[in-house]
């Protein structure tokens, strides 16, 4: 995970692909620098200076949210794709 000059120490996993869909409980908190496994990609609320609408359903591999599943905006992840572009090799969440 990437802080992207954010003043906080991490972000909560979201229940859906928008920022307000959040349960602010410790076991859903992901510290910046945590490695996450990408499950699938989706489109949602625009986040950050590039109005990036790309989101990822992830599971953190360590920290308080280890084993939880939730959405994180692409802005907060160190992915190889540009804003508003799918991550190469990542399936779409809506595909079977």
The DSSP secondary-structure symbol of 26 reads: G
* Domain membership flag for residue 49: yes
Q: Which residues lie below 8 Å from residue 38, measured CB to CB, with a gap of 6+?
A: 56, 57, 58, 79, 87, 90
- What is the count of structural domains for the chain? 1
Q: 3-class SS at 76?
A: helix
* Domain membership flag for residue 32: yes
* Domain membership flag for residue 3: no
Cα distance between residue 53 and residue 41, in whole Å: 11
CA-wise closest residue to 36 among 77, 3, 82, 8: 77
Other Cβ atoms within 10 Å of 11 Cβ, number: 24
Residues in the chain predicted with pLDDT less than 50, given as ranges, are: none
Residue-number span of the structural domain to which 48 is assigned: 10-74
């Amino acid at each position: 995970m990437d802080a992207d000059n954010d003043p906080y120490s991490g972000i909560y996993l979201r229940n859906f692909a928008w920022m307000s869909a959040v349960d602010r409980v410790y076991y859903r908190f992901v510290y910046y620098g945590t490695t996450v496994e990408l499950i699938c990609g989706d489109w949602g609320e625009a986040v950050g200076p590039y109005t990036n609408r790309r989101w990822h359903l992830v599971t953190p591999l360590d920290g308080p949210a280890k084993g939880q599943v939730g959405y994180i905006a692409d802005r907060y992840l160190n992915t190889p794709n540009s804003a508003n572009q799918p991550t190469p090799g990542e399936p779409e969440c809506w595909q079977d």
